[in-house]
Amino acid sequence: MSTNPEDLAEASESMMEAESTDQQTKRDSLRWWPALFIVIVMLILRLLPMFFESPPLPVMMLGLMGPSVAGLLLLPWWLFASRAAIREKLIGLAGLFFIGGMAVMFDHSSIIGMPIMMYQLPVGMAAFALPLILLSRRSSYRLRAALLGTLLGFGAWDLMRFDGVTGEFGAEFSYRWAPTSEDEYLKSLATTEESNSGESPDAGQYQTINTENALWPEFKGRNRNNVISGVSLEENWDQHSPRLIWKTLVGPGWSSFSVADNRLFTQEQRGKSEAILCLDAESGDIVWAYEYPGRFWESIGGAGPRATPTIGDDALYCAGADGTVVCLEPNTGKLIWKRNLRTDADRKPPMWGWSSSPLVVNSKVIVYAGGDNDKGVIAYDASTGDIVWSVASGDHSYSSPQLAEFHGVQGILMVSNEGLQFLDLQDGHIIWNHAWKTETHRVLQPLVNGNSVLFAGNMSDGTRRVSVSRLGDEWQVLEDWTSHSMRPQYNDFVLYEGHVYGFDFSIFASINLETGKKNWKRGRYGNGQVVLLEDEGQLLVTSETGEIVLLKASPEGLNELARFPAIEGKTWNHPVLIGDRLYLRNGEVAACYQMPIKSSKE
């Protein structure tokens, strides 16, 4: 070992320089672990709903919005806990806000709103933090890497278009330059009009329809219960397969069909106008179309009408998502009268758009409006459109008024965010009320069984059964049970031989009518719909992806008999079965299938 004073001094100086360098590196290094912890929390929150078979609404909201809230915690980390130099902090903060703000400015219109919070913000914040975590000791270029990550994390969304979500809130994206299904449909309409030299379809060539005995006059059928009598289907579709009769493009919308004779009536979006369509049931050709200005759009469900036309009093009554209510001559589409809920209820459309299908009864057209004071439910004169009466009924509902009878008294059942009401037909006064408040949406039609009612809350509330009793003029409505074994969103349930069949979130299930207890839960058909063929206890299910599935109603378990792919695309619309003809649609296509009939008593 050298004892030369000069060597010792040089070694000591080197050690001091190394120690100084280590100290400087430590001072320049970021405190990275809080940022990593936040990013991991963001990821856990996003994946959290996947760990639940049917995630409760709070868990769903935590999975959707939690990553954004957690991502914003990266700002105080960067400013107060990162150990970055003040100059680096200020440049980083300014760059983050500038890049994020510019990216949002160039977002496609469909991204603006909830998709920013659900997707763009958390990805952008994570993309800012990850380079700082990985390069925490590289003070010379870590900030540049972080800002580049920010540009990619926020800016990549400028290339995308948000096409809504699935029933389980799975996001659907396309490149913003890709044509939408609505673009393709409008293009096909223009081509058809051009080939017809601009002439409108001649409704006069079709036979006058009989509206008095309409086969399927309103949403979910004559009693709004999705029950079909007199028809049973063959159960071996390998030997007796459904046959496609026609398939055609349609515009966006979640409307179903109403049917009279050989005409189908439905609603759709056409650019800046909503449209009511009459189709030939045999060919799918357009008989007539009535358009009016109006376009409702929201990021989850997209554009288009939500309600279904109603046939009654020799007329066709329709309600649009933007608030337009019209009465048309059903053979020609000629306008008889028009109203608007924006004016009549003095309010803007609810979050998901007006969805109430009109109820026609006693020469009145009943529509849910959700306005303040007494403008909740509005009754119009069926002939003139004049307001006959109105009554308070909460401030939002995506259900429709429904005719019902309890203890010999006919009235109107209405589900809203306040609960369940039974209204007088003549003047709308409240006969009885069952309070069950919710801050979120209620969509389903109530299911009446004798003097009891089954109605759904939301994904958190579940389903409740109440019993209605009467002593003179006194009414009493008591809760029998509330079940969390069936929590539908906007999916049907039906009743067969003492058991309820429907959707628990996105999984098909069955509960006991008397107790509300679960029989079974198994069928994974997404957020679809179900129709009961009551003669043989068959359940015809349309899956969210457009499949048709035939089940046997049994409290013992799921009994799937047959299935086939029918239409493409997200299918939330209600199916209609008339004899052996099955009519389907979604926001892109409509189709008719000839179903294999086992027996028909019609």
Question: How does residue 53 score in pLDDT terms, banded at 50, 70 and 90?
Answer: confident
Strand order, beta sheet including 409-416: 402-406, 409-416, 419-424, 430-435
**pLDDT for 194:** 64
Asked if 454 and 463 count as a contact pair (C-beta separation under 8 A), the reply is: yes
Confidence of residue 215 (pLDDT cuts 50, 70, 90): very high
* Amino acid making up residue 212: E
CB 567 within 8 A of CB 240: no
Q: Which residue has the higher pLDDT, 491 or 92?
A: 92
Q: Are 421 and 414 in contact (CB under 8 A)?
A: yes
Say yes or no to pLDDT of 497 above 60: yes
What kind and span of H or E run contains 151?
Answer: helix 142-155
- CA count, 13 A, side-chain hemisphere, 463: 35
Contact in structure between 564 and 554 (CB atoms under 8 Å):
no
Round to whole Å and give the CA distance between 181 and 186. Answer: 9
Given CA atoms 122, 127, 129, 130 in this order, what sign does their dihedral have? Answer: positive
**pLDDT at res. 602:** 43
Instruction: Write down the pLDDT at residue 524.
Output: 92
Whether residue 17 has pLDDT greater than 70: no
Residue 19: φ, ψ to 5°: -65, -40
- For residue 36, the SS3 value is helix
Q: What is the pLDDT of residue 354?
A: 97
Amino acid in the structure at residue 130: L
Answer for the pair 325, 365: CB distance below 8 angstroms, yes or no: yes
Beta sheet of 359-361, edge-to-edge order: 359-361, 364-368, 377-381, 387-391
CB atoms within 10 A of CB 228: 20
User: Across 200-296, where does the E strand assignment appear?
Assistant: 227-228, 231-233, 243-249, 258-260, 263-270, 273-280, 286-293
pLDDT of 536 strictly over 80: yes
The tokens of 542 are what?
Answer: 């349309």
What pLDDT score was predicted for residue 57?
78
φ/ψ of 594, rounded to 5, equals -90, 115
Residue 398 main-chain phi, psi, to 5 deg: -115, 15
Report pLDDT digits (tens) over 129-155. Answer: 999 999 999 999 999 999 999 999 999
Reported as a single tens digit per residue, the pLDDT across 423-452 is 999 999 999 999 999 888 899 999 999 999
Residue 197 binned pLDDT confidence (cut-offs 50, 70, 90): low
Average pLDDT value over all residues in the chain = 92
% pLDDT > 70, the chain: 93
Burial class (CB in 10 A: 0-12, 13-18, 19+), 366: buried
174 contact partners, CB below 8 Å, separation of at least 6 = 160, 161, 163, 180
Residue 273: what residue type?
A: S
Name residue 40's amino acid. I
Burial of 449 (0-12, 13-18, 19+ CB in 10 A): middle
* φ, ψ of residue 119 in degrees (nearest 5): -130, -55
Residue 331's nearest CA partner among 505, 210, 422 is 210
Q: How many of the other CB atoms lie within 10 Å of CB of 13?
A: 10
Q: What's the DSSP call for residue 356?
A: P
CA 234 to chain centre: 32
483 near 516, Cβ under 8 Å? yes
User: What is the band of 168 on the pLDDT scale with cuts at 50, 70, 90?
Assistant: confident
Give the pLDDT band of residue 198 (cuts 50, 70, 90). Answer: very low
By the 8 A CB rule, do 236 and 167 touch?
no
Rounded to whole angstroms, the Cα distance separating 110 from 177 reads 13
Worst-scoring range by mean pLDDT, 348-362, 464-478, 586-600?
586-600
**pLDDT category, 192, cuts 50, 70, 90?**
confident
pLDDT bracket for residue 167 (50, 70, 90): confident
pLDDT score recorded for residue 35? 98
Residue 521 makes CB contacts below 8 A (sequence gap 6+) with 53, 54, 485, 504, 507, 508, 509, 510
> What does the pLDDT read at residue 211?
81
CA 294 centroid distance within chain: 20
Q: What is the tens place of the pLDDT at every residue in 304-318? A: 999 999 999 999 999
Tens digits of residue pLDDT in 221-233: 999 999 999 999 9
State pLDDT tens for residues 238-277: 999 999 999 999 999 999 999 999 999 999 999 999 999 9
Structure-token pair, residue 548: 């048709």
Please state which of the ranges 2-6, 335-339, 460-464 shows the lowest mean pLDDT.
2-6
- The pLDDT assigned to 210 comes to 81
10 Å Cβ neighbour count for 402?
A: 24
* Plot region of 551 (φ>0 → left; ψ -120 to 50 → alpha; else → beta): beta
Q: Is 86 exposed, middle or buried (0-12, 13-18, 19+ CB in 10 A)?
A: exposed
Q: Which residues lie below 8 Å from residue 124, measured CB to CB, with a gap of 6+? A: 71, 100, 103, 150, 153, 154
Planar angle of CA 288, 294, 300, nearest 5 degrees: 105
In this prediction, residue 14 carries a pLDDT of 58
Cα(556)–Cα(125) distance, integer angstroms: 50
Give the number of other Cβ atoms within 10 Å of residue 167's Cβ. Answer: 18
- Residue in 435, 343, 420 with CA at minimum distance from that of residue 385: 343
The helix-helix angle for 142-155 and 86-105 (nearest 10°) equals 20
Torsion angles phi and psi, residue 40, rounded to 5: -65, -40
Strand partners, 592: 246, 583
Q: Is the pLDDT of residue 300 over 90?
A: no
pTM summary value: 0.90
pLDDT the model gives residue 392: 96
Q: What single DSSP character describes residue 62?
A: H
